[in-house]
Chains A and B, each alone.
Chain A
Amino acid sequence: MSNIRLTGILKLSLLSAVLAFTSNVFADPVKAAFVYIGPTGDHGWTYAHHVGVNHLKEVMGDDVIVTEVESVAENSDSERVITSLARKNDIVFTTSFGYMNPTIKVAARYPDIKFEHATGYKQADNVSTYQAKFYEGRHVLGKVAGLMTETNVIGWIASFPIPEVIRDINSAFLAARSVNPDVQMKIVWVSTWYDPGKEADAASALIAQGADVLFQHTDSTAAMTIAEEKGIYAMGQASDMQVYGPNSQLTGIVNHWGPYYVERVQAVLDGTWTSTDTLRGIDEGMIQFSPMRNMPDEVKLTAEMAILDLEFGDVDPFTGPINRQDGSAWLAEGETASIGDLMSMMFYVEGIESKFPD
């Protein structure tokens, strides 16, 4: 049950010390390790995984020994950390897109160890991938934003141009347009997952350019605090950010990883683990929402209807006709996007005016 927060070299040396300490205490339990991109105190992405891990510990009790390593950069550092964890664990969860190649590489060297990579698309015999349908959540948020904006400008603080981020932008934009044909989206790329100062600067820049509802695809709560200060609306990301924006947060996606972690660790314990590719949404509870606040009842109703539609599979956020930004046809009338299309989406849909990042 170690929870380590350190940087660079120290991270590894202390890690091995802690692991050496924990490894001989119990005989049978599954040793599970988690690699995080940010600190668990980010109250966003990493925090949500950490909450999931706490759920895992609660449910599995003595059957699991957990190691968490925070703030692991997506460079050669991550490969070292994953390698060192692979030596001492039965299963290693790597929870950021950028860990994809290091995970695959390390997994090839440790064929007996199980790996689980979040949000990626490369699998192997001992590497599963898991991912939540964030775009379903963004669909609901998009409807709320479309109805709540008065300036018709929605601001989006984006991290890196990868399919997951692009998909969410498109999903929210289509939903916002469906309830408000005049809505536009301003997208700012900050090239980081976690830098509160820069996220705050980006929020201010978007507000200065007329945005009155902010979305973020970064991990800190900075944008929410700026929205609160400037008196506009914002959507929480990955966990409930209500404390930071009591008058600002409309709602937000809350990632619910706990049950999945229990399932996978239990599978290792039972010896039934196989490599899988998991994609779950609202219907299976991997995506949930923070309470709808600061909005009129009609908007709330629209949001709740949208949630029900997704839950019962009546609606797919990507249902044709949808064109690509350049006007070329993507989905025909009534056609829905395939998983492959979703996982490799690298274009904006028609109507978004921002240029696609290079």
Chain B
Amino acid sequence: MNEGLLIDIIIGISIASVPLIFAAIGELVVERSGVLNLGVEGMMIVGALLGFVVQFHTGNSYLAVLAAVFGGMVIASIFAFLTQFLLTNQVATGLALTLFGLGFSAFVGRAYTEETIQLIASSNIPLLSDIPLVGPLLFSYNPLVYLAFFMVYLVWWFLFKTKQGLILRAIGDNHDAAHAIGHNVIRYRLLAILFGGAMAGIGGAFLSLVQVPIWGEDMTAGRGWIALGLVVFSSWQPFRVILGAILFGGITILQLHAQGFDIRISAQYLSMLPYLATIVILVSLRMGAKNKTNRTMPNCLGRIFHSTT
């Protein structure tokens, strides 16, 4: 295996992981606030569509990414309104959101299935990207790739180093107590849901702007669901999202390359691996929950908050 191929593989893995990182880190914040939004796939696909449409009409990548953020947030705000104000069931609402997002984007996107765009160029940071090996591996990605990793750091910093982050986690663990001491549960949750929408939107746009320069119906192809799995896999710890995303993305890419080299590990087993890992982690989390020291799942996850006072 030569150096160039190795670089290609690593770049391939990074690109396959980024949409998952965006979507999962957004959902992680949502779930930390105690809300379960199963509409990630729907928000991603709308982001993918809007990003593509704006890129197509304006040719401006910044506007395209902003449009994707906006699209994700609009879809998320529907969820926020339904679950936070009308107190609808979060699971059902999230599922409806996914169905809606897929159908809506397919409908609106019909006019765009025949178009292509220029891929957003990689950044190729001057000087640094010329360093052999390190240059292409670290300094010549699309800017959104760096943003994905930065967002993970930012979320970690917010959740564990700021007062607002502490409040958000407290709300996720016990919304009644947080409410009783005067925190605005609904406001925190609204903002968290919107953030989740924005991140899912960028994740989708990465797919249609960076990975493939086309718009295709259902092009997220289940990545939103993988992102949901990743949040569990990460046991709600931001940095583990990166680990999980690289595991999911890496297995896909390595499996494709392995086939070219005729290293044949059954594709079915490989595609099962990340899900198996998620199940194992889920089980071990529940086992750990018995001694009460190792509880990481937000206690109020998916529960409706209804202020009685």
Q: Which A residues from 174 to 212 make CB contacts under 8 A with B?
A: 186-192, 194-202, 204-206, 208-209
Q: Which stretch in B108-116, B273-281, B295-303 binds the other chain?
A: B108-116
Cβ of A221 within 8 Å of any chain B Cβ, yes or no, is: yes
Q: Which stretch in A3-11, A16-24, A291-299 binds the other chain?
A: A3-11
Q: Which A residues from 312 to 358 make CB contacts under 8 A with B?
A: 353-355, 357-358
Residues on the A chain within 8 Å of B9, using CB: 205, 208
Which of A9, A41, A201 sits near B253, CB closer than 8 Å?
A201
Cβ of B106 within 8 Å of any chain A Cβ, yes or no, is: yes
Query: CA A8 – CA B119 in complex, angstroms?
Result: 32
Residues on the A chain within 8 Å of B15, using CB: 201
Determine if B267 and A41 form an interchain contact, defined as CB atoms under 8 angstroms apart: no
Determine if A205 and B256 form an interchain contact, defined as CB atoms under 8 angstroms apart: yes
Residues on the A chain within 8 Å of B8, using CB: 204-205, 208
Which of A5, A42, A354 sits near B103, CB closer than 8 Å?
A5
CB distance from A204 to the nearest CB of B (A): 6
Cβ of A225 within 8 Å of any chain B Cβ, yes or no, is: yes
Which of B113, B212, B253, B264 sits near A43, CB closer than 8 Å?
B113
Chain A contact patch, size range = 35 or more
Cβ of B211 within 8 Å of any chain A Cβ, yes or no, is: yes
- Give the nearest-CB partner of A219 in chain B: B216
Determine if A197 and B257 form an interchain contact, defined as CB atoms under 8 angstroms apart: no
- Give the nearest-CB partner of B221 in chain A: A195
- Give the nearest-CB partner of B5 in chain A: A208
Cβ of A263 within 8 Å of any chain B Cβ, yes or no, is: no
Determine if A43 and B257 form an interchain contact, defined as CB atoms under 8 angstroms apart: no
Determine if A198 and B267 form an interchain contact, defined as CB atoms under 8 angstroms apart: no
CB distance from A286 to the nearest CB of B (A): 24
CB distance from B44 to the nearest CB of A (A): 11
Q: A43-B114, A243-B114 are in contact. Are A196 and B216 (CB under 8 A)?
A: yes
Determine if A39 and B213 form an interchain contact, defined as CB atoms under 8 angstroms apart: no
Determine if A208 and B257 form an interchain contact, defined as CB atoms under 8 angstroms apart: yes
Cβ of A303 within 8 Å of any chain B Cβ, yes or no, is: no
Determine if B213 and A7 form an interchain contact, defined as CB atoms under 8 angstroms apart: no
B223-266 interface code vs A (CB 8 A; 1 in, 0 out):
10000000000000000000000000000110011011110101
Query: CA A304 – CA B293 in complex, angstroms?
Result: 74
Determine if B5 and A200 form an interchain contact, defined as CB atoms under 8 angstroms apart: no
Cβ of A71 within 8 Å of any chain B Cβ, yes or no, is: yes
- Give the nearest-CB partner of B270 in chain A: A191
Determine if B116 and A243 form an interchain contact, defined as CB atoms under 8 angstroms apart: yes
Residues on the B chain within 8 Å of A309, using CB: none
Determine if A201 and B216 form an interchain contact, defined as CB atoms under 8 angstroms apart: no
Residues on the A chain within 8 Å of B214, using CB: 196, 220-222, 225, 244
B106-138 interface code vs A (CB 8 A; 1 in, 0 out):
110110011110010000000000000000000
Q: A5-B106, A71-B218, A191-B271 are in contact. Are A209 and B260 (CB under 8 A)?
A: yes
Residues on the A chain within 8 Å of B217, using CB: 5, 38-39, 41-42, 71
- Give the nearest-CB partner of A191 in chain B: B267
Residues on the B chain within 8 Å of A310, using CB: none
Cβ of B16 within 8 Å of any chain A Cβ, yes or no, is: yes
Determine if A187 and B259 form an interchain contact, defined as CB atoms under 8 angstroms apart: yes
Determine if A41 and B116 form an interchain contact, defined as CB atoms under 8 angstroms apart: no
Cβ of B268 within 8 Å of any chain A Cβ, yes or no, is: yes
Determine if A355 and B114 form an interchain contact, defined as CB atoms under 8 angstroms apart: no
CB distance from B40 to the nearest CB of A (A): 15
Residues on the B chain within 8 Å of A42, using CB: 113, 216-217
Q: A189-B259, A243-B114 are in contact. Are A205 and B213 (CB under 8 A)?
A: no
Listed A/B pairs (12) with beta-carbon separation below 8 Å: A5-B217, A10-B99, A188-B260, A196-B219, A200-B211, A200-B212, A206-B260, A222-B214, A225-B213, A225-B214, A229-B119, A244-B116
Given contacts A204-B12, A208-B4, 15 further A-B contacts (CB under 8 A): A5-B106, A5-B217, A9-B99, A41-B106, A41-B113, A186-B260, A194-B216, A195-B219, A197-B221, A201-B256, A204-B8, A205-B256, A209-B261, A226-B212, A354-B262
**Which 7 pairs show the lowest CB-CB distances between chains A and B?**
A41-B113, A39-B217, A208-B8, A195-B221, A205-B256, A200-B212, A209-B260
